[in-house]
A = this chain, B = another copy of it.
């Protein structure tokens, strides 16, 4: 029996809980503990046997953890935590601020590499699996176009933006791909699509007492970056309806590469996800890449890595020869 890979979970929000649950599905992985800045009694783990450890003690676990999975947010947690922890641990994170990936990569690499650690950044489905499919698409069909559609799904960032509006007590926002646009892309027509033509946005809003619906609706629909470039529908609902019908976190989307080969034969590659729980799926991807991070480090392959740098076979608990025999 090979020894299990020892995982530390940093942070215990939706993602941390998803990681705990995903690791329970993998026999070759085990959880050393959950590291948190919160008081231990504020956390309710799925498995109460797992130790809850103060974040400030984390360096005491350098020899006891093979890989840390960083479950904090890209805005406030990871920019500091990622580089700090990669100096002491192999890490995997889901840093997803696309525009800042290059500088984040450099910061993590500068910290991991001289310390002989392996740090896989920006893991999940976008960035992550969707990025891989964009890469395969353009590498295999150089003459063509790549289209990414998101949804139907709950967007955390857009929901937060609506919640910040005065008069809004609660809200969720769904991003919805425009079916007509998706069909056009699938047909191989290589359409040029504007932002508005690709997605619509749908908001479910609970008003504060005394707030004026018309005013709130206007504030949402004209919000720059978030809503102004989209066709947005706003539904006003009760607090009860919000918690009853809109507390799940579904998401998904498509990456479609449409290209031409030879004398103009259309070739369409499509990748799609239909997720009932976005955070649980992201966590499942993080866990598979934690296995890869451990293996890369074992073979001396250190520094910052992305999904582009990792041979897919490293994600599987199966041996290379079993993979060739069973699923190649």
Contact residues of A with B, CB < 8 Å?
A: 18, 21-22, 25-26, 98, 101-102, 105, 122, 127, 129, 131-132, 134-136, 138-143, 146, 186, 188, 261-262, 265-277, 280-281, 283-285, 288, 291, 306-313, 315-317, 320-321, 323-325, 327-328
Knowing A267-B275, A271-B270, A309-B313, say if A324 contacts B261 (CB, 8 Å). no
Kindly identify which residue among B21, B134, B267, B309 contacts A311, using a CB–CB cutoff of 8 Å.
B309
Point out the residues of chain B lying under 8 angstroms from A271, CB to CB: 270-272
Closest 9 CB pairs of A and B: A308-B313, A265-B276, A265-B277, A261-B280, A139-B315, A268-B274, A134-B327, A139-B316, A139-B288
Docked pose: A127 CA to B323 CA in angstroms: 12
Q: Select from chain B the residue with minimum beta-carbon distance to A25.
A: B142
The answer on a CB contact under 8 Å between A136 and B129 is: yes
Q: Sample 25 A-B pairs with CB under 8 A, ordered by A number.
A: A21-B262, A22-B261, A25-B142, A25-B143, A25-B261, A105-B324, A135-B315, A138-B316, A139-B288, A140-B284, A140-B315, A146-B327, A261-B277, A262-B280, A265-B276, A267-B276, A267-B280, A267-B284, A268-B274, A268-B275, A270-B270, A270-B273, A309-B313, A310-B311, A312-B312
Shortest Cβ distance from A140 into chain B, in angstroms?
5
**Given the complex, which residues of B lie within 8 Å of A320, measured CB to CB?**
308-309
In the complex with contacts A280-B267, A312-B136, A306-B327 CB distance below 8 A: no
Q: How far is it, in angstroms, between the C-alpha of A21 and the C-alpha of B327 when the chains are bound?
A: 30
Asked if residues B288 and A324 are in contact (CB atoms below 8 Å), the reply is no
Q: Complex: how many Å from CA A259 to CA B266?
A: 32
Residues of the B chain whose Cβ atoms lie less than 8 Å from the Cβ of A186: 274
A171 nearest CB across to chain B (Å): 23
Given the contacts A135-B312, A276-B267, A313-B309, A328 and B98 also touching, CB distance less than 8 Å = yes
CA distance in complex: A122, B324 (Å): 10
**Tally of this chain's copies:** 2
B residues in contact with A281, CB < 8 Å? 140, 261, 267
Chain B minimum-CB-distance residue to A252:
B268
Q: Are A284 and B307 in contact (CB under 8 A)?
A: no
Report yes or no: B277 in contact with A316, Cβ–Cβ below 8 A. no
Q: In the assembled complex, which residues on chain B have CB atoms less than 8 Å from the CB atom of A310?
A: 311-312
**Which residue of B143, B288, B308, B323 is within 8 Å of A312 (Cβ)?**
B308
Q: When chains A and B are docked, how far (Å) is the Cα of A274 from the Cα of B270?
A: 8
- Residues in B with CB closer than 8 Å to A140 are 281, 284-285, 288, 315
Cα distance, A111 to B22, chains bound together (Å) = 41
Given A261-B21, A280-B261, A284-B261, do A327 and B273 touch, yes or no (CB 8 Å)? no
Chain B nearest Cβ from A256, distance in angstroms: 10
Complex contact A261–B325 (CB within 8 A):
no
